[in-house]
Amino acid sequence: MSAVSMQVDTPAAQQGQRVIEGYAMGKTLGAGIQGKVKLGVNLQTGQRVALKCMDKNKMGRDRTRQMEMLEREIQAMESLQHPNILNLQHVTMSAQYPRKGTKGTKDVVLLALELAEGGELFDYLMHTGAFGDDIARTYFRQMLSALELCHNNGIYHRDLKPENLLLDANFQLKLADFGLAAVNLEMDTLCHTCVGTKSYMAPEVMARQGYDGAKADLWSAGVVLFIMLAGCPPFQQAAPGDWWYNAVRSNRHDKFWMAHLRSAPDFPKLAQEFLNLIFVADSSQRASIDDLWNHQWMQGRVLQEAELTEVMQEKNREVEARKEAELARAREIGRAHV
């Protein structure tokens, strides 16, 4: 049955609800460069999902690149099944997206993704500040476990950052957004493309050298861990003009920490030692995933699911309140300018 006929036939559609590929469409969850993400409900199972809809006609001149990104994302997500990697449940390369009212449909690529009810890790760091050692370790271990599977499958994420780390309803971490990933490289092949987000990029990626995708991902994971513990980033960018990076590059981690401890005095000592193994300019000397698993800091306390849910729920209330206040302020400013 086509999406259009489903729109007419299903009880959901009869009640005026928009339906796409068997999913009733709900509120907008967010928007990215590839298009809107909507809440969806599978009409057969009742399961809630995130519907990522990419308008093919809006891809413009960049269409080839965007389709490439999308294919990479699909290929990566289809080959990775892990409790800490966002699950791709359904793909339709050409779906009819019902516009509001009677304005017909538009042609989209549709991805139905596991719903991350807890939102982005970014929002928690932004609105509630740094995490304690135990929460940071719990999330770092989940992230490393997800990365290990990626790397064992020849997939390098290349854009690790708190915006791409989503949380499910129980606040378990889900690695998302594989649009910039390098897929199916032979294990010993180097990556050559300078992609990612500058403040998270490893120095060898910034320098546009051929690089080991696994070691580059670990650098970015280290930046995420630093932010979880300090509430601010470790470098502006890992390039020679950056004071913080220069300290690390010249093996003066003592200077790097002395300066950071002024604004983050509680940064745990063992976590500093752990990060010194990741913030190593020469990627061949940087710790491997195995080295990280075996480090003493990683053996510390980890929160079990129920405990993590409880503490994060509390933070979630604060995030929601702050976002709501921001929205109200923006509306206020909007009204003042009318």
Binding site for ligand AMP (CB under 6 A): 29-32, 34, 37, 50, 86, 113-116, 120, 166, 177
Q: Is 217 a catalytic site residue?
A: no
CB of residue 92 to ligand AMP, shortest distance in Å: 16
| Nearer of residues 112 and 292 to ligand AMP, judged by Cβ | 112
Smallest gap, in angstroms, from Cβ of residue 180 to ligand AMP?
11
C-beta closer to ligand AMP: residue 24 or 37 = 37
| Catalytic annotation, pick one of 123, 133, 159, 212 | 159
Q: Which is nearer to ligand AMP, 93 or 270 (CB)?
A: 93
For ligand AMP, the closer of residues 114 and 133 by Cβ is 114
- Closest distance of CB 120 from ligand AMP, Å: 6
CA distances from 162 to 12, 99, 105, 320 (A): 36, 32, 34, 17
> Least separation, in Å, of the C-beta of 56 and ligand AMP?
16
Residue nearest to ligand AMP (CB): 32
What are the residue numbers of the active site? 159
